[in-house]
């Protein structure tokens, strides 16, 4: 596995974890503030998961396009 592939794999992992943590935190905060327990937490986790998957999919697509063009020395954003 190349260093570029490892970088993309770590970015996907971080995007997924960050999405879940952010959605979970915001959902928990809304639950405590508005008293909707546990609905805002569940919705926040689902939306965080969807956001993480979206960001991860975008990173994978950019890496795949760069690999198809042959841009091996360029790191994905």
pLDDT for residue 75 is more than 60: no
pLDDT tens-place string over residues 38-72: 999 999 999 999 999 999 999 999 999 988 888 76
pLDDT of residue 36: 87
In Å, what is the CA distance from 29 to each residue of 17, 19, 34, 40? 18, 15, 8, 8
pLDDT for residue 77 is more than 70: no
- Mean predicted lDDT score pLDDT of the chain: 90
Give the pLDDT mean for 6-19.
95
CB contact set of 2 (below 8 Å; sequence gap of 6+): 72
pLDDT of residue 72: 60
How far does Cα 17 stand from its chain's mean position? 6
């Amino acid at each position: 596995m190349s260093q570029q592939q490892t970088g993309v794999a770590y970015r996907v992992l971080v995007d997924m974890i960050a999405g879940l943590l952010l959605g979970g935190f915001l959902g928990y905060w809304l639950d405590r503030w508005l008293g909707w327990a546990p609905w805002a937490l569940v919705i926040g986790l689902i939306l965080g998961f969807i956001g993480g998957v979206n960001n991860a999919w975008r990173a994978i697509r950019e890496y795949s396009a760069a690999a198809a063009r042959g841009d091996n020395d360029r790191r994905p954003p």
